[in-house]
Amino acid sequence: MFAFIARHHLLLAVALVIGPSLFGGAGAALGQVIYSEDFEDETLAANTMIVNGTIASGFGSFVDPVPARASFSVVQDITAEIITFSFDVVTPIVRAEPASMEVILRAGIGTAHNTLQNADQVVESILFRDGNRGAYTNNGNETIFLVANNKASDLVFNSPIDGTPVTLTAFQYIPYVRNNDTDVFGQIKGISNYNGGQRPLNRFAIGSSSTAHEGSWAIDNVLVKSEVSFDNVIGPPPVPGDVDGDGIGGEFPDDFDPIRANFRKTVSSRAQGDLVRNSVVDFADFREWRSVFLGGGGSLEGIDLGFIAVPEPSTLGLLLSAFALVSGRRRPVCGRVH
């Protein structure tokens, strides 16, 4: 009985130590790009419209005149269970005194190319309404992220602010802002419920919500992804094993050092070693780097791998086999010789 309990506790300890890497964690599946626009030319998708705005210098510039309103809008069904809306604000929002001014992100129902009325919006983030909202600073160099849980079960992810777990229950959302001058995240507002409960998302828009506003603003890199993502860079798919973003994967030490430095840490970007995009640097990231490194003719000999304190999941079978071999041996019966 004692031997059984000891074996049971050992197996439990092994599972607790190695389990998350062996069985996979939340966010392990990669999401897909649902929509993107980088304003590099004047060609927009058929479902996209710019009102009172122009494309120039690689971004979209907008002016809210009287009595109209400016907006960037996309009419498209978005049915993913996890959604991150993101875009860059690349110039300060200017309010034409003494008029009112507002810039918001809204997603919701309907098919009109505008910034959605209150009854139409399902999720929203107000960046500026006669002043900054939440952690938004209006410095002309910020990125907005709105994470929406578009499903009937909980969504748990690591906060980009401090790495603590964030839980969105069914049909809730939360908007964040990253100050790109300081690389610091903040909240624009707290967790909110979908307006009206579960609702379809048929369109989204960025702009002002009424004709009472006067001012200007500019945006870039509008991106919608079917995952929790705090990286809104639009471009070709990343190169496997490429941490530093130079287009070459599996380099040592450039791609290896961030993985070693941040191993088992919560991070918010690929540049910190999160190659598989699950908000933590772990065995999966190391394995991707190692595969490319060895495939390119590299050797692990002489590389300090002491930061990996527990065996890889592939080693679990060997551990369990060894344990079974040891525990399966019969002890000799003392005092008798057969």
pLDDT in tens, 136-145: 999 999 999 9
Q: How confident is the model at residue 294 (pLDDT cuts 50, 70, 90)?
A: very high
Residue with tokens 């479902």: 47
CA distance 227 to 149: 10
Q: What is the pLDDT of residues 162-197, one digit of tens each?
A: 999 999 999 999 999 999 999 999 999 999 999 999
The whole-angstrom distance between residue 177's C-alpha and the CA centroid of its chain comes to 13
Please state, in angstroms and rounded to a whole number, the distance separating the CA atoms of residues 194 and 173.
7
> Percent helix, strand, coil in the chain (nearest 5)?
20, 30, 50
Cβ neighbours of residue 276 closer than 8 Å, sequence gap 6 or more: 28, 30, 284, 285, 288
- Those residues whose C-beta lies under 8 Å from the C-beta of residue 334, and which sit 6 or more positions away, are none
pLDDT digits (tens, 9 = 90+) for 188-200: 999 999 999 999 9
Q: Which two tokens stand for residue 182?
A: 């300081």
Q: How far apart are CA 248 and CA 144, in angstroms?
A: 29
Q: Where are the domains of the chain?
A: 2-27+237-315, 33-225
Which of 2.60.120, 1.10.287, 2.70.98, 1.20.120 would CATH assign to domain 33-225? 2.60.120
Summarize pLDDT for 14-72 with one digit per residue, the tens: 343 334 333 333 333 457 889 999 998 888 888 999 999 999 989 999 999 988 899 99
Q: Do strands 155-158 and 203-207 pair parallel, antiparallel, or not at all (unpaired)?
A: unpaired
